[in-house]
Amino acid sequence: MITPDNIPKMSVKDLIKDVQIQSATISLIDFRELIVVNPNFTYVDVMAKLIRQALEKFERTCPLFKRSRVLLNEEEFAFTDTFDAFLDGIITEEYCNIIPKTIYNVDTSLLHTRRSWRYDRPVMRGTYKLGLQYVDYMCSYPFRYDEDKDINDFTDDSFIYYIPLYGGNSQENMFKKEVYYQILSYLKQIKNNLRYPDMPIELLQGIDEDYQMMQQELQEFYRKANSHGKLYR
């Protein structure tokens, strides 16, 4: 049973550190100074945006598949995100809802395979069976973070949930490469469009090469993942 203590999760600070250590391009310098070229934004602002972009891209092919038990007492049910209530120990993971992107099954009993529902996010309509029912759906990976302004960094309790940092499958490992790709894309734009004398851009000559390599690797991964029909299981 998944609990707040054992749920797979990835520390945002550890994720960024792992990506940086594995990169010969951005491990030479503190790239945080490079990505914050606008004083109106903090390092956390920029990195949170890049991580969201990586999640959105990753989820198009590899969404989070979740099952939740919900109480259907009428033909219309509005999903609300109760993941924080699960983290606080108020509800169990079984009864925790994350707003679905797509619903692919309601009540998994083989005796009830009729599909009558219609989903207009976040409302499910037209369910024929009421009461406590299991709903299987695809959704986003929960991303919870905060900023420690004293050290200009993410807090230690900033996590991406349902994705482990180590020991995951190949798809989860590719998410880290997607984060790296988003960082490279951002740095590449800075390198191509801005010239500041104090910025050690000359140390980032490998950006274009790494960018092309990551782009090709991710395109191939997403192409193969789509061809395996995971989204239709």
Tokens linked to 201: 């851009």
Judged by phi (left if over 0) then psi (alpha if -120 to 50, else beta), residue 212 lies in: alpha
Residues 6+ apart with CB under 8 A from 159: 9, 10, 11, 12, 143, 144, 145
Instruction: Print burial letters for 119-147: b (CB count within 10 Å at least 16), e (below 16).
Output: beeeebeebeeeeebebbbbbbbbbebeb
pLDDT score recorded for residue 204: 66
pLDDT at 185 over 80: yes
**Domain interval for residue 16:** 9-62+164-232
Q: Is the peptide bond before 39 cis (omega within 30 degrees of 0)?
A: no
224: in domain = yes
The string of DSSP letters for 138-171 reads EEPPPEE--EETTTTEE-TT-EEET--SSS--HH
Domain co-membership, 98 together with 57: no
Domain co-membership, 48 together with 81: no
Average pLDDT over residues 191-208: 65
Q: Quick one: DSSP state of residue 189?
A: H
Domain co-membership, 56 together with 86: no
159: in domain = no
pLDDT at 172 over 90: no
Q: Taking a C-beta distance cutoff of 8 angstroms, is the pair 7, 66 a contact?
A: no
pLDDT, tens only, 38-81: 889 999 999 999 999 999 999 999 999 999 999 998 889 999 99
144: in domain = no
Domain co-membership, 50 together with 68: no
Question: What SS3 class is residue 64?
Answer: strand
44: in domain = yes
Question: If 0-12 CB within 10 Å is exposed, 13-18 middle and 19+ buried, where does residue 10 land?
Answer: buried
pLDDT, tens only, 95-106: 999 999 999 998
Pick 70 or 188 by higher pLDDT.
70
pLDDT at 23 over 50: yes
Dist. CA 137–CA 139, nearest whole Å: 7
pLDDT at 168 over 80: no
150: in domain = no
Is 0.85 topped by the overall pTM? yes
| 232 band by pLDDT with thresholds 50, 70 and 90 | very low
pLDDT score recorded for residue 112: 53
Tokens linked to 214: 């990551």
Short-list 137, 175, 150, CA closest to 50: 175
Structural domains in the chain (count): 2
Domain co-membership, 74 together with 134: yes
Domain co-membership, 20 together with 52: yes
146: in domain = no
- The residues facing 68 across adjacent strands are 135
- The residues facing 70 across adjacent strands are 133
pLDDT, tens only, 91-134: 999 999 999 999 999 875 555 555 678 999 999 998 877 899 99
Short-list 114, 108, 124, 121, CA closest to 75: 124
Domain boundary (89, 124, 139) is at 139
pLDDT score recorded for residue 59: 95
| 24 band by pLDDT with thresholds 50, 70 and 90 | confident
157: in domain = no
For residue 20, give the amino acid letter. Q
Domain co-membership, 98 together with 73: yes
Domain co-membership, 183 together with 132: no
